[in-house]
Structure 1
Amino acid sequence: MTQSPVIRLDLDEATARRVSDVLEDAFPFGEVSISAFETGPDAWRVEVYGEPHMAAEELASAMREALGPESAGLRLEAGAIDEHDWIAKSLAGLTPVPAGRFVVHGSHDRDKISPDVIGIEIEAALAFGTGHHGTTRGCLLAIDELLNQRRFERVLDLGSGTGVLAIAIGLAQQSPVLATDIDETSARIAGENAEANGAGAFVTSIHAESFDHPAFGERGPFDLIVANILAGPLVELAPDVKRHLAADGRVVLSGLMNHEEERVLAAYTAEGLTLVKGLQLEGWSTLVLRD
């Protein structure tokens, strides 16, 4: 039977959450599966499962590189797991996550989702963007609140990843959403997820490496732009986001850690946007701004 590498780290809760967040940001979709769970009083374990073609040493080295100086004091315990058990372990770590009217879940929990909420099914192998990350949940909570206030006719999900945010908006409003990502695989996955969740008629997912793509001009200006990416790209994209935002539009930004909030906010206020609300979850920030 095919085996996959697994790396285990035993940590305190704060370190476990920080390490799992950094690793989720560092690895491409589907390359690893990451779970963090409590094993005792202030005792947590982070488990990172690689694909069958990866050697444990290769996975450990990539993890140390992603963690940088913080990896120096960490003990990475390497092992292997049968592919069937890898899938089961991945699924076991992903319980349904509620965020306002939305609940993000895996197919293994499909029958547990109440009909009075909007269920969004995202598989465990996709890792970042499953709703278990503080940035995704923060965005969904912000979106839920915004949709309670008004309807948005032209919506952009910039750096859509799994497409979870675009799917949420499309299903909630039964309206069009443009989902874009600089990674072709991510754009394809977002489109597939939209179809699987019954949002295919609403979500258009495209591969776009910059705002030069004609779709932005054809579908904009946007009265709602959501961008769950990273702090550096968010800062760089501030002028383009402003340029493609409709008058009185709203912007939801995430993918930034709490200490990066001030730098990102400064870039957008410099473009004339105003902070409406900030939300902090698990060390990550979500910002809601208006034109």
Structure 2
Amino acid sequence: MPTWTALTTLPQKPPAEALGEALEQLTPAPTGVGVFEMEDGSGLFEVGAYFIDPPDEIALAVLAAAFGAKDFAVSEIPDQDWVAHVRRELHPVEAGRFFVYGSHDADRVPEGSVPLLIEAAMAFGTGHHGTTKGCLEAVDKLFTDGFSPQSVADIGCGTAVLAIAAAKVLRLPVIASDIDPQAVDVALANASANDVAEFVSCVEAAGFDHAALAEAGPYDLVFANILKGPLIELAPDVATHTKAGGHVILSGILTPQADDVIAAYGAQGLALTARDVIGEWTTLTLRKTR
């Protein structure tokens, strides 16, 4: 059965959220509405709605005009087995010693690699995005240079691919967190699938706001692969929970945003040691100097 999307943008968060609420009152009603800040540094907010029946395009035009948004772009999405499609399109990813793959590519794991089994259906954090690949390559460089952390945290873990990678190499406890309870379930399932359930724990938390994270810290290594805004807000907490001499790997950063993130962490005593770019995304490696 096909579905329809209706997407628009506007420059401020309050009217974007108000438009999102207004969309929910349409007939036919959307099955879902989302309001997101765009990641391109434009400051725009995207408002989107999803429908199982064709939306009323006149009503959409009226709403766009009323809230000062651009005209809605309405698209029909054909019925498709998206998991099968993703499996066909996504190939294994090599990031340093790490090899990220789905079960359909199990026969392609190279000898001597560190395999990370992350199914394609679990889209965020499969390793195909430049941010995740960048983090894996950054931590592989640290490990290759002899860094051997004894305590690791993965903040905003998604599929927990970074926590699992660290646990597979270090064979010691790694704690992960995510604000989304479904992500926590996915993280624990992935840890089990990768035979590191005994090492990887995951809690539902915003940043470090959980007793288990406080008790396990401070950390020699912290991952945070989220977005510029939350990363900057987290800078004081990351510094507090990182040991002197410890390393922090940050991503989810569009390349033009990197200097702002570097400055925020520099103010907290975290000095840049590496800056890597994959496509439009930058990964930062920093070291706590005080």
Give the TM-score normalised by structure 1: 0.74
Q: Does 1:146 align with 2:159?
A: no
Secondary structure at the residue paired with 2:265? helix
Secondary structure at the residue paired with 2:143? helix
Q: Quick one: distance in 2 between partners of 1:101 and 1:180? A: 24
Partner of 1:128: 124
Unpaired runs of 5+ residues, structure 2, are 6-31, 33-49, 65-69
Counterpart of 1:182, as a letter, is I
CA contact (8 A) 1:6 1:81 kept: no
Unpaired runs of 5+ residues, structure 1, are 8-30, 32-52, 66-70
CA gap of 1:123–1:243, structure 2 versus 1, over 3 A, is same
Q: Quick one: distance in 2 between partners of 1:141 and 1:172? A: 13
Q: Does 1:198 align with 2:158?
A: no
Q: Quick one: distance in 2 between partners of 1:88 and 1:148? A: 36
Give the C-alpha shift of residue 75 in structure 1: 7.2
- Structure index of larger Rg: 2
CA deviations 1:141-162 (Å, max 9, x no partner) are 0010111222110000011000
Structure 1 residue runs of 4+, over 6 Å off?
none
Counterpart of 1:188, as a letter, is D
Partner of 2:209: 212
Partner of 1:105: 101
CA contact (8 A) 1:223 1:246 kept: yes
Q: Quick one: distance in 1 between partners of 2:2 and 2:113? A: 36
CA deviations 1:2-25 (Å, max 9, x no partner) are x35488xxxxxxxxxxxxxxxxxx
Q: Quick one: distance in 1 between partners of 2:53 and 2:188? A: 32
CA deviations 1:102-157 (Å, max 9, x no partner) are 01111111111123111111112221211110000000000101112221100000
Partner of 1:161: 158
Q: Quick one: distance in 1 between partners of 2:214 and 2:83? A: 42
Partner of 2:91: 95
Partner of 1:179: 176
Give the TM-score normalised by structure 2: 0.75
CA contact (8 A) 2:203 2:210 kept: no
Q: Does 1:281 align with 2:282?
A: no
Number of aligned positions between the proteins: 235
Question: Aligned residues: percent identity?
Answer: 44
Partner of 2:239: 242
Give the C-alpha shift of residue 76 in structure 1: 6.5
